[in-house]
C-alpha cells in the first residue's frame, strides 16, 4: 500500500508547472480581449470544440467528485443519480441552446427584462449575483476538502485552499474574460478527465480488482438503481425536474450556449460538454466504491463520508501523483470559477451599473467595471465557502434556488400568455412552498424523530394536539437537506400560480411580445445581414425550435412540414438520446464486472 505522509518536492514541481503553465496560457489568450463584448461573450466566435470544453469545464467542479464519491461510499453506486439527475434531461439541452443566442442579449437578466420588464429583471439580478457567490464558494470548499485530506492536512487546511484558489483564478480571468476562460477550460478539461479516472486502476489493484470489490461490499452497492441508496423513482424524477428547470435560469447558461460561432456550436457544446461530465461521473462513483473497500480492508474510519475521495488519494497516490491530483482539482475549480467570475461581472455591469448607475457608460468603462465587479464578487465567495459544511447539500441548494427562479424563465419561453404578475407570484409561491415544506420536516415535538419525508411531516402535523407548539419546534435554515417532496410541491404550486395569475391579469404589451418571440423564430447564423433587414426564418433552414411556444402545438399549422422545419432539433435530439442510452448501458456493464 502506498501512503502519502507529505507533499514532497516532486509534487510541488508538478503543481507549480501546472499553475505557471495555465496562467501563462490564459494571459497569452487574454491579449485578444479588447472590448466588453469580447470580455463577456468572446465576440460570439468560439468554435464547437472550445464550446464543449467550456461547458464541461464550467459544469464540472471539485465538489462534485467529492460529493459523488462520498455518497457512493456510504450508500452505493445508485447514488450516481444525484449527479445523473440531469442525464435524463441532457437531450433537452440541444433543444434549448438556441434560445440564448437568439435573444441577442449578454445576460439572462436582460432576457427577463425583455420578457417581463425591469423590476423582475432586477430581482433576478440579485439572485444571479448571490448564485455566483454561493456556487463559487461551494466549489472552493469542495476543492479544499479534497486537497486537505489527500495531503494529510500537512500542505494546507481546507479553508486555506479556499483562499489560495480564489487568488489563483483571478490572475488570468481578470484580464482575459470569457475568451481566456473558454480556452483554459478546454485545456483544463483534460486534467478533469484525469482527475475522474486516475485513482481507479491503482484502487482496483489494491482491493483485488472488481471481484475484490464485490467480495468486500454489499451486493446492492453495485446496483444501478437501488432503494437502499434512497434514490426512488420519484426522487430521480424530481432531481431531473430540478435540473431542467434550474439549468434554464442559471445565470451563466447564456455564455455556455450563445458564445459559439454558430447555433450548432452552442448546441454541440452545451449538450456534449454535459455528456462528458456524465461519463466522468461513472469514475467518481467507482472511486467511492473503491474508497469503501479500502476503509474496510484497512480497518479505518472516516468521520465524514465526503472525505472518501481525499482518503483514496492519500492511500493510493505516490510522490508526483499527489501533485498531479491537486493540479487536477485546481483545474476543475479554476475552469468553473473563471467562467462564473466573468459572468458575475457581466451581470453586475449590464444589469446594475449600466441600467441604474451610469446608463451612458462607454465600452471602455463597461469593460473596467466588468473586471472589477467580477473580481470583488469572486473574492466574496470566500466568506460563503467558510460556512459550507456538507458539500452535496450546498450543491443541491444552489441548483434548487435556480429552479425556483426557473419557473418564471421557462414559463416565459414556453407560454406567450405568461405575464409579469404571474411570474412574480409564481416565484414567491415557489420559495414560500419550498421553504415552508422543508421547515415542516424539521418539526419534531419532544422526543419525536424528525420526519423522514414530507408525507410523514404532514401526518405528524395532522395528528398533533397543539398545532402552534408543533410548528414552534421547527428550524429555519438557509441550506436544508434536499428532499423530493418539498421540491415537487413547490414546482406544482408555482407553475399553477403562473398560469392562473397570468390568465386573471393583464397580458404583456403585444408589440413587445411580438418582437421577443419573432427573434426566437429567426436564425442567428448569418451575422452579415444588412442593418434593418430581418434575419432568415429558422423554419426555412430546418431550425425551428420544438420546445418554443408550446401553446401552438395544438394548431394544425404547427404540424405542417414538421420534419423539414424541425430537422436540426429532431436529428440532434435523437442522437443525444442514443448517447444517453449508451452511457447508462456502459455504467450497468461496469457494475457487472467481477460478479
Residue-wise over 82-96: b if at least 16 C-beta within 10 A, else e? bbbbbbbbbbbbbbb
Cell readout for 343 is: 459572468
Contact 328, 147 (CB under 8 A): no
Cell readout for 470 is: 408543533
- Mention every residue, 6+ apart, whose C-beta is less than 8 A from residue 339: 54, 57, 58, 178, 181, 182, 185, 252, 255
Smallest Cα–Cα separation from 56: which of 174, 190, 173? 190
Contact 146, 62 (CB under 8 A): yes
Q: pLDDT in tens for each of the 595 residues of the chain?
A: 344 445 678 877 887 788 788 878 887 887 777 788 888 888 888 999 999 999 998 888 776 787 899 999 999 999 998 788 788 899 999 999 999 999 999 999 999 999 999 999 999 999 998 888 877 777 766 666 666 665 655 555 545 555 666 666 666 677 667 787 888 888 888 888 887 898 999 999 999 999 999 999 999 899 998 776 667 888 888 988 988 999 999 999 999 999 999 999 999 999 999 999 999 999 999 999 999 999 998 888 888 887 888 788 878 888 888 778 777 777 777 777 778 888 888 999 999 999 999 999 999 899 889 888 888 887 777 666 555 555 555 556 777 889 999 999 999 999 999 999 999 999 999 999 999 999 999 998 876 778 888 888 888 888 888 888 888 888 888 777 888 999 999 999 999 999 999 999 999 999 999 999 999 999 998 766 556 678 899 999 999 999 887 767 778 878 888 999 999 999 999 999 999 999 999 999 999 998 8
- 263: exposed, middle or buried (Cβ count in 10 Å: 0-12, 13-18, 19+): buried
Contact 11, 329 (CB under 8 A): no
Report how far Cα 264 is from the mean position of its chain's Cα atoms: 21
pTM: 0.88
Q: Where are the domains of the chain?
A: 9-27+49-401, 429-506
How does DSSP classify residue 529? Answer: P
In whole angstroms, what is the distance from residue 554 CA to residue 409 CA? 22
The single residue listed with the C-alpha cell 450556449 is 257
Question: Does 9-27+49-401 carry CATH code 1.20.1730.10?
Answer: yes
Cell readout for 479 is: 441550506
Instruction: Please name the helix (run of DSSP H) or strand (run of DSSP E) that holds residue 522, with its range, or none.
Output: none
Q: Using DSSP, state whether 260 is helix, strand or coil.
A: strand
User: From residue 198, how far is each of 57, 60, 202, 280, 531 by CA, in Å?
Assistant: 18, 16, 8, 11, 53
Contact 82, 237 (CB under 8 A): no
Amino acid at each position: 500500500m502506498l501512503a502519502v505522509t507529505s507533499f514532497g518536492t516532486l509534487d510541488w514541481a508538478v503543481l507549480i508547472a501546472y499553475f505557471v503553465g495555465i496562467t501563462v496560457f490564459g494571459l497569452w489568450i487574454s491579449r485578444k480581449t479588447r472590448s466588453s463584448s469580447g470580455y463577456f461573450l468572446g465576440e460570439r466566435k468560439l468554435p464547437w470544440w472550445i464550446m464543449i470544453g467550456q461547458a464541461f469545464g464550467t459544469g464540472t467542479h471539485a465538489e462534485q467528485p467529492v460529493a459523488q464519491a462520498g455518497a457512493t461510499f456510504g450508500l452505493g453506486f445508485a447514488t450516481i443519480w444525484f449527479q445523473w439527475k440531469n442525464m435524463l434531461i441532457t437531450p433537452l439541452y440541444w433543444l434549448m441552446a438556441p434560445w440564448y443566442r437568439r435573444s441577442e442579449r449578454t445576460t439572462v437578466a436582460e432576457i427577463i427584462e425583455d420578457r417581463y420588464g425591469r423590476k423582475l429583471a432586477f430581482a433576478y439580478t440579485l439572485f444571479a449575483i448571490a448564485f455566483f457567490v454561493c456556487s463559487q464558494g461551494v466549489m472552493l470548499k469542495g476543492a479544499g476538502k479534497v486537497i486537505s485530506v489527500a495531503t494529510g492536512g500537512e500542505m494546507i487546511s481546507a479553508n486555506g485552499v479556499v483562499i489560495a484558489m480564489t487568488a489563483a483564478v483571478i490572475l488570468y480571468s481578470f484580464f482575459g474574460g470569457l475568451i481566456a476562460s473558454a480556452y483554459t477550460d478546454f485545456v483544463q478539461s483534460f486534467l478533469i478527465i484525469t482527475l475522474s479516472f486516475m485513482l481507479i486502476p491503482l484502487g482496483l489493484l489494491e482491493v483485488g480488482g472488481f471481484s475484490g470489490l464485490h467480495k468486500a461490499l454489499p451486493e446492492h452497492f453495485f446496483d444501478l438503481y437501488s432503494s437502499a441508496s434512497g434514490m426512488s423513482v420519484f426522487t430521480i424524477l424530481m432531481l431531473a425536474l430540478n435540473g431542467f428547470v434550474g439549468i434554464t435560469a442559471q445565470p451563466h447558461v447564456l455564455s455556455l450556449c450563445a458564445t459559439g460561432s454558430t447555433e450548432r456550436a452552442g448546441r454541440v457544446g452545451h449538450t456534449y460538454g454535459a455528456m462528458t461530465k456524465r461519463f466522468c461521473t461513472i469514475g467518481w462513483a467507482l472511486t467511492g466504491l473503491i474508497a469503501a473497500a479500502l476503509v474496510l480492508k484497512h480497518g479505518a474510519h472516516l468521520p465524514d463520508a465526503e472525505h472518501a475521495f481525499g482518503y483514496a488519494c492519500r492511500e493510493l497516490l505516490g510522490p508526483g501523483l499527489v501533485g498531479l491530483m491537486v493540479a487536477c482539482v485546481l483545474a476543475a475549480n479554476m475552469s468553473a470559477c473563471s467562467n462564473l467570475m466573468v459572468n458575475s461581472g457581466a451581470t453586475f455591469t449590464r444589469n446594475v451599473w449600466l441600467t441604474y448607475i451610469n446608463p451612458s457608460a462607454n465600452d471602455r468603462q463597461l469593460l473596467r467595471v466588468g473586471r472589477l465587479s467580477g473580481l470583488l464578487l469572486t473574492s466574496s465567495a470566500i466568506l460563503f465557502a467558510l460556512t459550507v459544511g456538507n458539500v452535496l447539500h450546498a450543491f443541491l441548494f444552489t441548483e434548487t434556488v435556480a429552479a425556483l427562479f426557473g419557473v418564471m424563465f421557462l414559463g416565459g419561453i414556453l407560454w406567450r400568455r405568461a405575464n409579469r404578475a404571474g411570474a412574480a407570484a409564481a416565484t414567491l409561491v415557489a420559495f414560500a412552498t419550498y421553504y415552508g415544506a422543508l421547515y415542516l420536516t424539521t418539526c419534531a415535538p419532544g422526543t419525536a424523530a424528525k420526519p423522514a419525508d414530507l408525507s410523514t411531516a404532514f401526518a405528524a402535523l395532522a395528528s398533533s394536539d397543539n398545532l402552534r407548539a408543533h410548528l414552534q419546534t421547527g428550524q429555519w435554515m438557509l441550506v436544508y437537506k434536499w428532499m423530493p417532496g418539498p421540491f415537487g410541491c413547490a414546482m406544482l404550486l408555482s407553475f399553477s400560480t403562473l398560469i392562473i395569475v397570468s390568465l386573471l391579469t393583464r397580458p404583456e404589451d403585444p408589440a413587445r411580445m411580438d418582437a421577443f418571440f419573432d427573434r426566437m423564430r429567426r436564425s442567428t447564423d448569418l451575422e452579415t445581414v444588412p442593418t434593418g433587414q430581418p434575419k432568415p426564418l429558422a423554419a426555412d433552414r430546418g431550425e425551428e425550435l420544438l420546445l418554443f411556444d408550446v401553446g401552438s402545438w395544438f394548431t394544425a399549422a404547427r404540424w405542417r412540414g414538421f420534419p423539414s422545419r424541425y430537422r436540426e432539433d429532431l436529428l440532434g435530439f435523437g442522437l443525444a438520446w442514443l448517447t444517453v442510452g449508451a452511457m447508462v448501458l456502459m455504467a450497468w456493464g461496469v457494475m457487472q464486472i467481477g460478479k
